[in-house]
Amino acid sequence: MLNKIMMTGRITTDLNVVTEEDYSYCKFSIAVDQPKQKGVDTVKTDTFTCLAFDDNAKSVSFLYSKGGQITFVGSLSKAPDNTAVIIVEELHFQNRFAVKVDVDSRQHF
């Protein structure tokens, strides 16, 4: 089975890295426009909660800010409160290169 998601959207929250005992993380939200429908002038937007760990968390908080556009590949996971969370696995920068940091998507939330 495959669990991969590629997202491009605008960051809607401030980015802060939280450091625990043996890992760090950055939890943020992105707004993603749905495809425009024929004959409809407005575009619907969905908001997703994302979670980056360790080096990805540091990269997200250093390279991006609220309102900035971000593209990444990740996996869908379920948080302890039964909500969906996207775990960031690869950051993509304007189609030039990708940064991939191996993460265990079953890590702490």
Q: Which among 50, 106, 96 has a CA at the least distance from the CA of 73? A: 50
Listed by start position, the domains of the chain span 5-33+45-100
Q: Which residues pair with 52 in a beta bridge?
A: 26
Q: pLDDT tens digits for 50-100?
A: 999 999 999 999 999 999 999 999 999 998 899 999 999 999 876 444 455
Determine how many CB atoms are found less than 10 A away from the CB of residue 75: 16
pLDDT band, residue 48 (cuts 50/70/90)? very high
Q: What is the pTM of this model?
A: 0.79
C-alpha 108: how far from chain center: 16
Q: Please give the pLDDT value at position 108.
A: 52
Query: Which top CATH class is 5-33+45-100?
Result: mainly beta
The yes-or-no verdict on residue 29 having pLDDT over 80 is yes
